[in-house]
Amino acid sequence: MSRESRIELHCEDMGAAELMLSRGANECEFGTGRAQCNSAAVSMADESSRGPSPWERQLYAHLKGHVETERAMLEKYAEVAERTDSKAFRYLVKLLVDEEVRHHRLFSEMADSLETQALTMREEPDIPYMDFQSADRAAVLEGAKELLENEKRDIGELKRLQRELRAVKNTSLWGLLVELMQRDTEKHIAILKFIRDHA
């Protein structure tokens, strides 16, 4: 298997979860994770009255468990991708890896944000508080409406493109990729509707 086609996974533990995936010498490199230094006397494992509530401790353990599960899944994707010379298979596995990296980052950010809030650290959590109404609400609503209209137009364009690709649906990955983009656009619409409904 050529070096360019390989998917390599590097996992290191340097006091915090750190993850990097790379794809060959000429491909993009991306990573997630940041070293965290928590000098607070109270930790998320502290069961005393000074520590987090039982619900916070349980949720934190659950999120951290998901972080490790996502890490294991990423390792499995990398391992499976090495077993074949199929460029199409490796290409699609790379798309799955991209999604799993995002999931890993989100679970890490949720756990870090919970820790920040539970231990009343002075820093801002990784995932910000919902401030749609305390910020410039009119600008938020206007922006969400404008982006929502764009995404709805995009759905129509993608559906038309999907029809044009019917002739190659059994010989090309293109139809699948357009279908995945349609699903992404539906996610974008859900996000924008959430903003609209909570502003």
Ordered by start, the domain boundaries in the chain are: 3-118, 137-198
Higher model confidence: residue 45 or residue 163? 163
Give dist(CA 189, CA 156) in Å, integer.
13
Higher model confidence: residue 18 or residue 128? 128
pLDDT at residue 36, as a whole number: 40
pLDDT at residue 124, as a whole number: 87
User: To which H or E segment does residue 20 belong?
Assistant: strand 17-22
Give dist(CA 37, CA 61) in Å, integer.
19
Give dist(CA 135, CA 76) in Å, integer.
43
Average pLDDT score over residue span 14-33: 36
pLDDT tens digits for 46-81?
Answer: 888 778 888 999 999 999 998 989 889 999 998 999
pLDDT tens digits for 129-179?
Answer: 999 988 899 999 999 999 999 999 999 999 999 999 999 999 999 999 999
Q: Is the pLDDT of residue 189 over 60?
A: yes
